[in-house]
Structure 1
Amino acid sequence: MKAEILSIRYLHEGWNRFGLAQVRLHDGSLVERAIEDHGHSVGILPYDPARRVAMLVRELRVPALFAAGEQMQLEAPAGLIDDGSPEENARREVLEEVGLSLNGLDFVGATYSCASLTTEKIHLYLAAYSPADRAEDGGGAEGEHENIRIVEMPLADLAAMADRAELTDLKTLTLVLALRLRRPELFAE
């Protein structure tokens, strides 16, 4: 027997939708499961291979503030996919958040950010840049109240943070580990 969603009752519809689904499982039993839906997203780790640094952001994430009192989260630039391809949205988000105009994107993968709760599939990219790629100030899109702080950090420091389990954002940890696997020479001190 195939699992199937029998019905969804939405409790909230706004920037995202939150609902409760009645599901028939493979064994025929009926259960209720929560679903959060806000679309797909992109996450990008811009890195300068010549200077061996990466461009990240620090910003408030209210769920992390609620869960652990974290005032600022260190993250790779990211955002929702609006119109266009994931690649177009990745370039737009990096320009908005850190002010870089990117050319090449190295696709890492597309994965569910938390398949037990959300429909979000995040498309992950690595992107080499140089100081000449600075096109704008960054800091986030006008009117979104992101209050982004741009952080340029040595790749060796990022690797050390990953080793100490100090990167608490999953997309950022994944991207740092992917870059470390693909370009280990960039992490030498």
Structure 2
Amino acid sequence: MNIDQKIKILSSKIVSNFWGTLEHVNFNFTFKNGKTENLTHEVYGKNDGVAILLYNLETKKVILSKQFRMPVFVAGVSNGFSIEVVGGALDEGESPEDCVIRETEEEVGYKIDKITKISTVFLSPGLVKERVHLFIGAYKEVNKTKNGGGLESENEEIEVLEFSFAEAFKMIATQKIIDARTILLLQYLKLEKL
């Protein structure tokens, strides 16, 4: 059965367009047994995003950030603060590579130019349509341009953190790091023996 026979979208209604777009999509779905059901799912998202783990092979350290995240707060975890890799949303017409270089300087104050793309992933494919482009990038102290901390115009207050590889991996086990992008990229570093 091809996709046109399996799924037929009947309607799509935007119910909120505040920060991202929340859409109700009504469709008919035909199961393998031939039965067709009418379903409505919510789809949430905005522009695709990027995330990068900065690592220093000489010092065996990584740069992470700590910032307030309302969903984490509402879930009652870590007083709403999340330790995570640099990340952000693509601006209109911006490439993932240009975005991740811009976000790195804005959030943690490092100007880097050599990055490696690891993958593009959906973090919550049952609800969120945003794809996240994952990168790693080497940094050295000479790459530091300013203190970082995010953009005041975007209401960002970001604490820049530097941890040894070993400390960062321990923080996964102790659940001090709970961000999926950060865990994926730290595990990549470990698997690749960087």
**Out of 131, 141, 163, which is 1:153 matched to?**
163
Amino acid at match of 1:119: K
Instruction: List alignment gaps of at least 5 residues for structure 2.
Output: none
Q: 2:83·2:176 contact (CA, 8 Å) conserved in 1? A: no
The worse-fitting range, judged by mean Cα deviation, of 18-27 and 46-55 is: 18-27
Give the distance between the partners of 2:53 and 2:185, measured in 1 at CA. Answer: 6
Amino acid at match of 1:170: A
Matched residue, 1:3: 7
- Cα distance, 1:145 vs. partner? 1.3
- Cα distance, 1:77 vs. partner? 0.6
Residue 169 (str. 1) matches residue 179 (str. 2): yes
The number of equivalent residue pairs is 184
Determine what percentage of the aligned residue pairs are the same residue.
25
Runs of 4+ residues deviating >4 angstroms: none
Give the distance between the partners of 1:145 and 1:170, measured in 2 at CA. Answer: 23
CA displacement 1:50-78 (0-9 Å, x = unmatched): 11111110000000000124321000010
When normalised by structure 1's length, the TM-score is 0.92
Matched residue, 1:78: 87
Alignment of 1:15-164 (within 5 A): 15-27=19-31, 28-71=36-79, 72-82=81-91, 83-164=93-174
CA displacement 1:82-118 (0-9 Å, x = unmatched): 1321000000010000001111111110001110001
When normalised by structure 2's length, the TM-score is 0.90
Instruction: List alignment gaps of at least 5 residues for structure 1.
Output: 185-189
Which of the pair has more CA radius of gyration?
2
